[in-house]
Amino acid sequence: MVGGRKRPDIHKQKSHCFCWFAVSIYIHNSMAKEVANPDEEVVLGEQIGNVRLITLNRPRQLNVISSKVVSLLAEYLEKWEKDDTAEIVIIKGAGRAFSAGGDLKMFYDGRNIKDSCLEVVYRMYWLCYHIHTYKKTQVALVHGISMGGGASFMVPMKFSVVTEKTVFSTPEASIGFHTDCGFSYMLSRLPGCLGEFLALTGARLNGKELVAMGLATHFVPSDKLPELEKRLISLNTGDENAVKSTIEEFSVSVQTDEESILNKPIQFLVHLQAINNRPVLFQGFCGRDHKITCKFMEAEASKEGNAWIAPVFKGLTRSSPTGLKITLRSETQIGFYVLYGGVRVSIPEGSLQEVLFDEAAANYH
């Protein structure tokens, strides 16, 4: 139980579909061919006894994810998974961000070379899948910004520790893209249509809200995070019970702030009782047409007590219509299978759908 409710189970896997397996083998083999420039340490990997420490090291760029970051991170994770002396992997970000997501400049510069851009996308998906299925104990220490693809390094881990300075968002729809890196799968497992709400609006969640929603496991005050890191390193083991007990020595229970979106008059997030008893706002995000969603939000914003919805609606109107459309399609398609079809969609299947959307977006642009 996390924050009074069960954390969405994003670790259970089904058998892999053949298409995803074929794609993943291709990606894995192509990644092995890339040799990183050792002079540019965009990812730092340290071996300390049985502990392996990864630091995303592009602080001036808010640790955005470049092709080199993907390659190095994947290299470390694969090597340490095979290393019997490595028991636990800790990942953190340098500076004031964990990771702000994908490097948009990289994609913009390569916009006319679609195969090159998609190659990076394929590699990123392989990396995210590897994190979801990793065999060693993983801990993410998330201090600062954690957005888009950067958050995909955090949410799937066995232990994800956030602070009062953590900021989470999935803002892809606003720039004409869609939630990717496994997030259509992860968000679809949130109660009701919260996943669609986060994906379409890019609404920001703080550390307390992340724990309350089950997207992080522990909340630790930022001034205690360095000491927690030292304790985990000195622990020198990947035993999950020992790691959990150590984190809990530093963590505090969370209670969302009064102004939190989780505590608004229309309580459409944590307090959902059953799918057939959805509060009104949920209904606006469970459709298949983003235009209907926008109209619904506009109508709700004019009602008494709903003044907080106005900026949400304003943000939707400024977002890319294409991004909203493909995001809603992606989220509702996975969500439909999970909620109505009773199908336990796996992370490979969800990610394969995202890859197909990525390819279509690249060809469209």
Is the C-alpha dihedral spanning 273, 279, 282, 286 positive or negative?
A: positive
158 neighbors 139 (Cβ within 8 angstroms)? yes
Q: What is 230-259 written as a DSSP string?
A: HHHHHH----HHHHHHHHHHH-------TT
Quote the CA–CA distance of 297 and 138 in Å, as a whole number.
39
**Burial (CB count <10 Å: 0-12, 13-18, 19+), residue 258:** exposed
Cα–chain center distance at 74:
17
363 neighbors 357 (Cβ within 8 angstroms)? no
Q: Which of 115, 99, 221, 238 is nearest to 170 (CA)?
A: 99
Q: Which of 70, 66, 228 is nearest to 143 (CA)?
A: 228
Q: Which two tokens stand for residue 114?
A: 């679609």
Catalytic residues, which ones?
A: 102, 149, 172, 180
Partners of 137 in the beta sheet?
88
